[in-house]
Structure 1
């Protein structure tokens, strides 16, 4: 690698970090500003000789960017909440993707009769899966209810598997490989089932391994490899690598409290940084693709291309709205069990979900991965770019306005979280005191009563400021020193608190977010007790 190539590799992430810093400083939407900056820089720099161009490599996106982004999102999700919204998530991640594929494919074939129907369906599969990164970022910043965020996150985790499977079937049919509807169905079932099985198998093995590892650096070094191992293992047997990665991430995220506190603390910070870095680079890359894509449209009628672009963009947006509204209300009308078990959805929540359909880099990567001799490849690539940037800019810019206009907020959930957190802290402190009494009440520990009293006071107050780390372990006569006694007893109390909190999460008395927040405080305190 020469110096010029190395410099090009540094310039892209450095520029992304700088633009993201400005966006965060000003309180703007980071994904939208990065896309706009990429568009502007790409158009200005394209005519200048010597300025590097950054063509989006589909293999790099699908092998390097997608697995860790999916894994990080899955780790941070809630298995229990996803289980609660499995029906709407399934309707969006499977039903809506296939519906959008059909709508866009039929419309494109009707507008361009010379384009084979299979190629038109390939375009539909390419633009069908929304990327909820931008939507969820805005939703969390503006305080959307947790259920809405969970639905959007769940959709983004699972829809890529559906879309990429449909994409492969459509591309195979377009290039002359005969594929019947029955073949397509079995291909989809094999890909989804295989990805699920491989994901569960890897999750079980890795989960057992993590329970036995105590070194946080080793644990997280392995964690860095997990998304790539899960993805490549599944893809090697031609099943869904996306689904495999998501299953592993959700499983390990749910069982994270069985790993060491050090591994959890390092993992939290590590994946936040990785997630942030990859996302900003991806969004900047999206904007930079315009000059490269325009080169392939030379000789085509610009008015025809503009008409196709507007029609496909509108079809993508309208198809989501048309699917979401009956998908929310029709099952309630048809099935009494759903009406009894699920609260009635509000119109505001339905509107937010219907408008949160921003596309992302997976769509562009799939378009770039089309074979060079694919019918109307350059046109399909441009239409994909229009849908991706159009949804990011149009829906992305209007999404905060819609949320504010509808008055959607999570204030009630925040209040309930505070109440449940207070109850959880009280229950955990009670468990810690009970464990302390169990360890000290039998008269074994008769000296250093001030240590026991200090622990008792701290558990009652639950002061989160950690005590200064103490040294020592065994005194000159072989007896346990006060500092060693303090650490041993406090660790036992923290473990008792953690067990109660996890049990309350499993019993649905507190949410995963509350559990993460409280246990992170316990992990910080336990970290101060550790000896170097």
Structure 2
């Protein structure tokens, strides 16, 4: 394809994506579903280009930034609190689906052999959370359910691709069962180590730049900096990307400027939207090409359709069956938390001095103040986790939605295209994977809103969120007031702050806002900016402490962080300009 035609295809693709997304909002339909349907329709029109994208480009060029973008916005506390259901869905269910689907494919297509059957099972095992979460957010699903779906989508690609790699190696007869287990453990451990290192170095290095454009430019290559070394080491590149994103999102508020974070967030949302949408559009456009390849290979399209529908039923039923015990385990976890809560409250009361317990008091007297502070912090975090398990429950209603939200997506099709060219009936297998991805995406995606309404999943209580947000902002205002009331407060190198400057800043941080004080004189504006930024920094540090304690929901923390970032970014821009 010459450069002019390539440019035309890209322009038409972006325009089509925007138009379909805008139209989907009016129809109240998830954009990924509309893009797939539009792509399928366009693929049969004469004259419409069918761009051929190498599957390795999607898995190594598109998947890392998409996972990184999602991981950066995933609160580490939420991921940690939901690690059991996420691990269950993203690892155990993926392994079980791979084995079950592999058996089905071997029974229906015995000529392909067990390794190729399991390879195709690994291809159709990971879910795509984009469509499910877009529908869920629009219909007001509770935050914990959305977190589980997003967390599953972050991790299950890594599990499936590791299994696919092992199954492809088994086609050549070069792997054993214990070899697969060892490779899986190695892939996880090394990927986590690389992801941690890249995430920490990423934040530290970008904190030195002080330029939003340069900062965002560096952030665009971070996913590949994590992905490539992990893949070269034989580990899971996508898991390394996820870990790097989680670490970056957790550390960024402490080290990166608000201006940099806001600019990066907007740019990444735009990039992720275009990449996700392009993948779903390409998924639809590829149907005609896949059908032609099956015809050229001498296979039957109807056979592929039948096997694909059978595999779709298997993956749907397997997920529903798996979610039942998963929700039961969460219920047992909730009952355990209810039994543990009184003990926690008693210990906290002893630490506050409200109650006495000779055994606990004696141990505290022997401990150093640092160890006592560390123990208090861990206790507060444990109490917040217990409260989370008691209030943020899934229940059988959430389990119904979780069981039905198992749509596959474009990653399934891209992974299928990576099957070796000498795989028996390769064209047939790729089309089967496409049928599974399209069937689950359209059938479950189209009916998910009805399932959510029928299950009557309780949505987030806006009143509770509002009260929690007020409580959090009041705590941040108290932190600012404590700083301003400090008798030793000074402007480094310039002596004490002027009274009018302090009064003006004090009026800016009151909750609810008080009447503004006198405006600082022109010569005091720079001093006002320095003090206001210092106060906002103090509030940001208090917010990070509140985040690590787990005492507030991620929604309240995110709103407060955004409010601080917007104000800090505005003042940072003013502080960077000379004041005349």
TM-score, normalised relative to structure 2: 0.84
Structure 1 residues 434 and 368: alpha-carbon distance in aligned structure 2, compared to 1, 3 A threshold: same
Is 1:466–1:528's contact at 8 Å kept on the other side of the alignment? Answer: no
Q: Which residue of 2 aligns with 1:271?
A: 268
Q: Which residue of 2 aligns with 1:368?
A: 417
Is 1:332–1:338's contact at 8 Å kept on the other side of the alignment? Answer: no
Post-superposition offset of 1:470: 9.6
Q: Which residue of 1 aligns with 2:552?
A: 510
Cα distance in structure 2, aligned partners of 1:452 and 1:428: 17
Deviations 1:243-284 (A, max 9, x none): 000000001101121111111111121111111111111111
Q: Which residue of 2 aligns with 1:450?
A: 500
Deviations 1:408-464 (A, max 9, x none): 13232x332211210111111111122122267789977853332222222214659
Structure 1 residues 447 and 82: alpha-carbon distance in aligned structure 2, compared to 1, 3 A threshold: closer
Cα distance in structure 2, aligned partners of 1:466 and 1:500: 24
Alignment of 1:109-128 (within 5 A): 109-128=106-125
Deviations 1:61-93 (A, max 9, x none): 112210111000000101101101111111111
Post-superposition offset of 1:210: 3.2
Q: Which residue of 1 aligns with 2:41?
A: 40
Q: Which residue of 1 aligns with 2:311?
A: 312
Deviations 1:19-78 (A, max 9, x none): 1122234432111111110011112x2xx2x54212242122112210111000000101
Matched, 1:96 2:93: yes
Post-superposition offset of 1:331: 7.5
Cα distance in structure 2, aligned partners of 1:362 and 1:309: 16
Cα distance in structure 2, aligned partners of 1:160 and 1:400: 25
Deviations 1:330-378 (A, max 9, x none): 5766998578565464110111111110111111111111122111111
Q: Which residue of 2 aligns with 1:250?
A: 246
Q: Which residue of 2 aligns with 1:383?
A: 432
Cα distance in structure 2, aligned partners of 1:465 and 1:513: 29
Q: Which residue of 2 aligns with 1:21?
A: 22
3-state DSSP of counterpart to 1:109 = helix
Alignment of 1:71-470 (within 5 A): 71-174=68-171, 176-258=172-254, 259-298=256-295, 299-329=298-328, 342-343=389-390, 345-412=394-461, 414-438=462-486, 448-461=498-511
3-state DSSP of counterpart to 2:220 = helix
Cα distance in structure 2, aligned partners of 1:301 and 1:470: 80
Cα distance in structure 1, aligned partners of 2:436 and 2:316: 9
Is 2:497–2:527's contact at 8 Å kept on the other side of the alignment? Answer: no
Is 1:435–1:492's contact at 8 Å kept on the other side of the alignment? Answer: no
2:569 corresponds, among 506, 527, 530, to 527
Post-superposition offset of 1:471: 11
Post-superposition offset of 1:121: 0.6
The 10-residue stretch of structure 1 (396-405 or 208-217) with the greater mean CA deviation from structure 2 = 208-217
Q: Structure 2, unaligned stretches of length 5 or more?
A: 340-385
Post-superposition offset of 1:511: 2.3
3-state DSSP of counterpart to 2:151 = helix
Is 1:93–1:156's contact at 8 Å kept on the other side of the alignment? Answer: yes
3-state DSSP of counterpart to 1:438 = coil
Post-superposition offset of 1:129: 0.2
Give RMSD over aligned pairs.
2.6
Cα distance in structure 2, aligned partners of 1:360 and 1:507: 36
3-state DSSP of counterpart to 1:92 = helix
Is 1:417–1:510's contact at 8 Å kept on the other side of the alignment? Answer: no
Cα distance in structure 2, aligned partners of 1:496 and 1:20: 41
Q: Which residue of 2 aligns with 1:477?
A: none
Structure 1 residues 200 and 411: alpha-carbon distance in aligned structure 2, compared to 1, 3 A threshold: closer
3-state DSSP of counterpart to 1:144 = coil
TM-score, normalised relative to structure 1: 0.91
Cα distance in structure 2, aligned partners of 1:94 and 1:406: 26
Q: Which residue of 2 aligns with 1:476?
A: none
Post-superposition offset of 1:6: 2.4
Cα distance in structure 1, aligned partners of 2:516 and 2:447: 44
Aligned length: 517
Structure 1 residues 496 and 385: alpha-carbon distance in aligned structure 2, compared to 1, 3 A threshold: same
Is 1:466–1:525's contact at 8 Å kept on the other side of the alignment? Answer: no
Is 1:126–1:384's contact at 8 Å kept on the other side of the alignment? Answer: yes
Cα distance in structure 2, aligned partners of 1:448 and 1:334: 55
